[in-house]
């Protein structure tokens, strides 16, 4: 099979809307990161410059993935998935610990989080599996056994790091894909009943800080200077922004350093404090436009493989946006999920930009793919 064959039509049908939406979110995010680290002094300010580098590097991988037919990429989906799982194992052998979690590994001078890569490779692998095992009937538990194992392996490895947020994202995206392609609802009821029964047992497998986060979610005021500090400061920041916000670089919670993790998990709080309800709504509209555009690509794809890839990526972005914003507003527990294209971070940005390259790939080839 030819690995790469240039076709001029891919630029004729290039999805400029998708690219514009992503770049808008990235640009606003970079400006917001500048504000988030402004109070830390000049030594920390290069973080926003590093974010620009991550976006540029991500754009490079985005274009590479865009140019190669996604059907060719899917031929190596299982290999790519296997490599990403192997990297998760390597984290425990050669990785290093940051903030109490062993999630990072350094290869060739570049440090990254394999757990971020798995978010994309599992979508590719599942799309390939369901495309190879098409069914005219809803999938049963027996038919979902193998794809469940494919998700379970990285889920357990990521949970061990520990990274509860990313582990849950894998399960949620898998569940979204299964519901999308069709599942026997009797099987769903059985699984749901089993999960409910096992939830008390799962409590004992959580780390102490994870239990504290869940307890704090119910009533953060019980420990306002300890486990409840993050969420209380976040809600103060969002609420104090009012309708129009306090203005760029004028957020008191941000500039006075009350808000923790303000350039990563709680970056939306910084934005909402400075730009208010109007700014927050604008950002949410940008995200919703991106997600719906991705779903549109999925529904208009000419083959099941493209549909599943596009839907999986759209589901990944939508759930991360929902969980992150819900987390900073105090309506969901704090589980450490970054805001896509907006939070500071190299691994997440590069993987997400690569995912956008796949979305563009599916979008363009719906026009040139032979029926």
pLDDT digits (tens, 9 = 90+) for 263-290: 888 999 999 999 999 999 999 999 999 9
| φ, ψ at 103 (rounded to 5°) | -120, -10
The residue that leads in pLDDT, 336 or 218, is 336
The residue that leads in pLDDT, 69 or 217, is 69
- Identify the CA nearest to 153 among candidates 191, 122, 178: 122
By residue count, the chain amounts to 371
Q: What pLDDT does 7 receive?
A: 66
Residue with tokens 């357990």: 156
Q: What pLDDT does 41 receive?
A: 61
Sorting pLDDT into bands at 50, 70 and 90, what band is 136?
confident
pLDDT over 90 percentage in the chain: 60
Q: Note whether 9 and 27 are within 8 A (CB).
A: no
Element holding 304 (H helix, E strand): helix 304-328
Separation CA 155–CA 170 (nearest Å): 7
Q: What pLDDT does 371 receive?
A: 43
Q: What pLDDT does 171 receive?
A: 94
| φ, ψ at 17 (rounded to 5°) | -65, -45
Which of 64-73, 109-118, 171-180 is predicted least confidently?
109-118
Task: Look at residue 252 and tell me whether its pLDDT is greater than 50.
Answer: yes
Q: What pLDDT does 3 receive?
A: 54
- Residue 36 makes CB contacts below 8 A (sequence gap 6+) with 254, 262, 263, 267, 270, 344
Separation CA 136–CA 155 (nearest Å): 29
The residue that leads in pLDDT, 367 or 226, is 367
Separation CA 125–CA 110 (nearest Å): 25
| φ, ψ at 97 (rounded to 5°) | -95, 135
Bin 23: left if φ > 0, else alpha if -120 < ψ < 50, else beta. Answer: alpha
The H-assigned helical ranges of 207-303 are 208-218, 229-240, 252-255, 267-300
Q: What pLDDT does 367 receive?
A: 80
Q: What pLDDT does 6 receive?
A: 59
Task: Look at residue 333 and tell me whether its pLDDT is greater than 80.
Answer: yes
Q: What pLDDT does 1 receive?
A: 46
Structure-block tokens of residue 290: 């991106």
The H-assigned helical ranges of 161-266 are 164-181, 185-203, 208-218, 229-240, 252-255
Q: What is the mean pLDDT of the chain?
A: 88
Q: What pLDDT does 358 receive?
A: 97
Find which of 146-155, 216-225, 232-241 is predicted with most confidence, using mean pLDDT: 146-155
What SS3 class is residue 104?
Answer: strand
Average pLDDT over residues 68-93: 95
CA distances from 158 to 86, 161, 259 (A): 12, 5, 27
The residue that leads in pLDDT, 57 or 211, is 57
What SS3 class is residue 261?
Answer: coil
Sorting pLDDT into bands at 50, 70 and 90, what band is 100?
low
Average pLDDT over residues 141-167: 92
């Amino acid at each position: 099979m030819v690995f790469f064959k240039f076709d001029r039509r891919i630029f004729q049908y290039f999805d400029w809307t998708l690219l514009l939406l992503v770049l808008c979110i990235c640009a606003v995010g970079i400006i917001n990161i500048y504000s988030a680290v402004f109070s830390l002094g000049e030594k920390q300010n290069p973080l926003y410059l590093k974010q620009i580098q991550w976006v540029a590097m991500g754009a490079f991988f985005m274009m590479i993935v865009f140019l190669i037919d996604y059907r060719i990429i899917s031929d190596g989906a299982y290999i790519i998935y296997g490599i990403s799982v192997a990297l998760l194992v390597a984290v425990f052998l050669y990785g290093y610990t940051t903030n109490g979690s062993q999630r990072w590994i350094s290869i060739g001078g570049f440090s990254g989080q394999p757990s971020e890569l798995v978010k994309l490779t599992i979508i590719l692998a599942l799309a390939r599996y369901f495309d190879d095992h098409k069914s005219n009937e809803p999938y049963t538990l027996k038919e979902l056994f193998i794809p469940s194992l494919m998700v379970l392996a990285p889920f357990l490895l990521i949970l061990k790091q520990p990274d509860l947020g990313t582990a849950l994202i894998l399960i949620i995206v898998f569940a979204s894909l299964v519901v999308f392609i069709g599942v026997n609802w009797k099987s769903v009821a059985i699984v749901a009943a089993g999960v409910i029964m096992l939830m008390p047992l799962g409590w004992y497998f959580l780390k102490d800080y994870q239990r504290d986060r869940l307890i704090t979610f119910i009533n953060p005021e019980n420990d306002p200077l300890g486990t409840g500090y993050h969420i209380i400061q976040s809600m103060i920041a969002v609420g104090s922004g009012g309708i129009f916000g306090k203005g760029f670089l004028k957020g008191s919670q941000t500039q006075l350093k009350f808000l923790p993790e303000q350039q990563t998990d709680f970056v939306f709080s910084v934005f909402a404090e400075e730009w208010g309800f109007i700014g927050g709504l604008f950002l949410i509209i940008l995200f919703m436009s991106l997600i719906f555009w991705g779903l549109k690509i999925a529904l208009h794809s000419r083959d099941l493989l493209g549909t599943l890839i596009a839907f999986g990526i759209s589901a990944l972005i939508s759930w991360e946006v929902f969980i992150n914003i819900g987390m900073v507003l105090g309506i969901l527990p704090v589980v450490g999920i970054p805001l896509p294209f907006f939070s500071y971070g190299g691994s997440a940005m590069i993987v997400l930009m690569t995912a956008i390259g796949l979305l563009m790939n599916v979008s363009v080839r719906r026009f040139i793919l032979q029926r």
